[in-house]
Amino acid sequence: MDLDLRKIRYFMAVADELNFGRAAQELHIAQPVLSRQIRALESELGVQLFVRDRRRTELTPAGEALYADAGPVLAGAEALRRRVGRASRGTDVFTVGFMPGLIVTGAVRALTAAHPRLRVEVLRTSWADQVEVLLDGRADVSFVRLPVDQRGLKVTTLFEEPRVVVLPSGHRLASKEEVHLSDLAGETLLQPHKAVPEWQALTGDTAPRDEGGPAPLAVEEKLEHVASGSGIVVLPASTAGFYQRPDVVAVSIADLGPTRVALAWDATRRSRLISEFAALAAVHLSSPRPAG
């Protein structure tokens, strides 16, 4: 049986909202039409995807399984659409994603020199979309900061670099050359704990507080919040060095391991350009000097 991607998109909208009315508004279709499409999808799959009553809508185990796998399927379809559309226009473009603080000019120039007719573009990413740009076709390769979800990707590690904690310049620890994780007890962490996996193992007073709510994603946003005294962030040393400013201070963390930088791309793609660029990246991208 062939899956109807339109019905899968409808399913994902309902699964995200867990409300047929709000999902219908988001999709700009009538709610009865959406309900019929979901019933048709359930009939095609031979399973029930939602449990629905007057008070709430919930995913069934089958719905949970479809939700987990449907995202990459839709992203892959979008990536294919982008690549086919680009090929039909005769545009020879290679797009490189990169995280803040990484300087990828050397590898980009080397690929351009080897292929003068190729237009090599760069795309700044964030923790939120450094993998997504590969899955939806916006980038051919991406320099990522690990850890990332590596399902469906080919990932090759390039180098490691230390991490630092960024504090307001007037912070009690700002004059220290080095701190320990325990020194940060009671601080407000202005980023998801998953960005610093080591902290997930900490409990009680030794765990920095995560206030919840929307966390600032862009480095510039994070530093503005740090400077105002709202909390702290942990960054790769090169990122902290790239975004130096007088009202914040970067301090080494003695008991926090390094972060790893890697090159990633869609594992299903068979591209000589990707293989060539991976080799160039290994030569031209190396660990930068620590901040300060």
Binning pLDDT at 50, 70 and 90, where does residue 217 land?
low
Residue for token digits 């400077």?
227
CA–CA distance, 113 with 97 (Å, rounded to integer): 19
CB 265 within 8 A of CB 218: no
pLDDT digits (tens, 9 = 90+) for 9-57: 899 999 999 999 999 998 989 999 999 999 999 999 999 999 988 788 9
What separation, in Å, do the N-terminal and C-terminal C-alpha atoms of the chain show? 59
Three-state DSSP at 292 gives coil
CA–CA distance, 249 with 14 (Å, rounded to integer): 45
Residue 124, strand partner residues: 98
Q: Which two tokens stand for residue 154?
A: 């080919």
- To the nearest whole number, what is the mean pLDDT of the chain? 86
pLDDT digits (tens, 9 = 90+) for 235-278: 999 999 989 999 999 999 998 889 999 999 988 888 899 999 99
